[in-house]
Structure 1
Amino acid sequence: MLDDDRVDTVKRLLFDYVKSPSLRHIKDPYMLIKLAQDIVKKLDRGNSAWTKWNGPREQLVESATACWIPIGDLQDHLNRMEGPKLSFSDVEQRLKAFADERYSEYPRDELQEGCLAVYGAEKALGTEMPAIVGVLRDHIEKEEERLRLEQDAHFRQLREAEAAAAEQRLLSGADCKWTPQQGSKDVFCRVSGRLFRLTTTTDKRVELYRSENLEAGKGTLLGKYLKRGDATKAVAQIAYQPEF
């Protein structure tokens, strides 16, 4: 790689990095380390074992790493670019190598059908390969966000179901761990059939009460503690002691 090319490579990576609107992202030590690694990788490719690959070819294939694109079509386009003729295996293995460099950035199976549909539609319109790659990357970004939101919603539903089941256990009179009850800021637990109530004070400490039932008010104060864990340890002992 010529010196001018090396400078251009570093300059492009730095410009891309500082485009981030987040100052926290720019100053993030992890992201800076990753930037340094990317710079080294780009410069090292000047002495790469992949001798058929020049800058434009590598840039296109690297961009397509996470996309579902028929390898034969990608091969045809690359062979119309400057450079030695590439075989199907050349392209397939270069894609895999880029994916490995990016810590398993392989195309996601759940996005295959949608990506191939987008690819087919763009190809039918006569869109050239670099533009199709850009369209696919935008599509993947949106789909990954959709999947993330769906997963978040699923986990939220699970948490809500678990909370409802825990409250039902509390209401049924069964032993249970600390459980919130609708309409109350306190949490309750039942051990050995005895109901305990935990109240957070204004100074962020907790007060432990022995209650007769959920409707009977706070009940008898058993102690004040720095945190819930301390109260839980106290309950583990008190619950099995004789009541007077």
Structure 2
Amino acid sequence: MRSDRQSAVASLLFDYLKSPSLRHLRDPHSVHVLATKIVSAVDRAGSVWAKWEGQRDEIAKAAAPCWIPIEDLRAFLNDLPGPSLTKTDVEQRLRAIWDEPYTTYPNDFLREGCQALYHSENAQGTAMPAIIGALQEHIEREDDRLRREQEESYRRWKEEERVKLEQRFLSGADCGWTRIDESEALYSRRNGRTFRVLQGKDKRWTLFRIKEIGDKGELLGLYQGRRDATKALKAIAYANGQQG
């Protein structure tokens, strides 16, 4: 008895061999297209998701991030060839798709906008595949907008933190490295002592102890990286427990 996979492959081969053109049968592009169809057919036939034949799985994967009401999606899928799908069939297939590599769950921040767009298009009689396409475009735009907003929010936060650190330094309090008035050098205060570090053209960092910003300062060391300079600073700043 033939398996479902054998039947699926045989059907594709018979269809391919119906071509009256020997040139077409030997065409590399046509062979690759046939190979792709065979692999897809075998995957479907051997899948544990037996009800998800043909376009059903393609539609489900396209609809997965779009917040389409389950019952509406189920009704559309049941109009396609294949056994009747229950609500649980659809819910669990979507869940399995979301758990696949390189796939994520729908963005909850986009739920309201997606559902509003869906109901608007559905009320106008737009076909489900077209609605899914419109939702995918909407999600791409919104993802891009959210990304830009997050980047701008992060930039604002970084600038606010820089200003706070600069003000802390200028007030005389201990603080980590900060630029003062967009200076090339970085300044820090530890244990009441003030330090400056500056990267040279050779990419190495020179550490100084200073009394005020305009000082030439006392050279403390030359370091390959800023992290090395910071590590040395921790030891120097608390040497002998002295201040000033």
Name the TM-score, length of structure 2 as normaliser: 0.79
Structure 1 counterpart of 2:217, from 216, 219, 222: 219
Q: How far apart are 1:103 and its partner, in Å?
A: 5.8
1:120 counterpart residue number: 119
Q: How far apart are 1:160 and its partner, in Å?
A: 1.1
Q: Taking structure 1 as reference, are residues 237 and 71 closer, same or farther at Cα in structure 2, changes over 3 Å only?
A: closer
Q: Taking structure 1 as reference, are residues 111 and 10 closer, same or farther at Cα in structure 2, changes over 3 Å only?
A: farther
Identity of aligned residues (%): 46
1:175 counterpart residue number: 174
| CA distance in 2: counterparts of 1:42 and 1:176, whole angstroms | 64
The CA deviation string for residues 161-219 of structure 1, in whole angstroms up to 9 with x for no partner, is: 111111111111111122111142101111221111112222111222221112x3322
Secondary structure in 1 aligned to 2:145? helix
Secondary structure in 1 aligned to 2:99? helix
Q: Taking structure 1 as reference, are residues 243 and 131 closer, same or farther at Cα in structure 2, changes over 3 Å only?
A: closer
1:146 counterpart residue number: 145
Contact 1:210–1:220 (Cα < 8 Å) also in 2: yes
Contact 1:197–1:218 (Cα < 8 Å) also in 2: no
Q: How far apart are 1:71 and its partner, in Å?
A: 1.2
Secondary structure in 1 aligned to 2:45? helix
| CA distance in 2: counterparts of 1:65 and 1:9, whole angstroms | 28
Q: How far apart are 1:41 and its partner, in Å?
A: 8.0
Name the TM-score, length of structure 1 as normaliser: 0.79
* Paired amino acid for 1:96: R
* Paired amino acid for 1:51: A
1:13-52 matches, within 5 Å, as 43-52=42-51
| CA distance in 1: counterparts of 2:228 and 2:70, whole angstroms | 61
2:98 counterpart residue number: 99
Q: Which structure has the larger Rg over C-alpha atoms?
A: 2
Structure 1 counterpart of 2:228, from 227, 230, 234: 230
Q: Taking structure 1 as reference, are residues 57 and 208 closer, same or farther at Cα in structure 2, changes over 3 Å only?
A: same
2:194 counterpart residue number: 195
Q: How far apart are 1:113 and its partner, in Å?
A: 0.8
Structure 2: tracts of 5 or more residues without a match: 14-30
Q: How far apart are 1:40 and its partner, in Å?
A: 7.4
* Paired amino acid for 2:116: A
Structure 1: tracts of 5 or more residues without a match: 13-38
1:53 counterpart residue number: 52
Q: How far apart are 1:104 and its partner, in Å?
A: 5.7
Q: How far apart are 1:70 and its partner, in Å?
A: 1.1
2:156 counterpart residue number: 157
| CA distance in 1: counterparts of 2:42 and 2:179, whole angstroms | 57
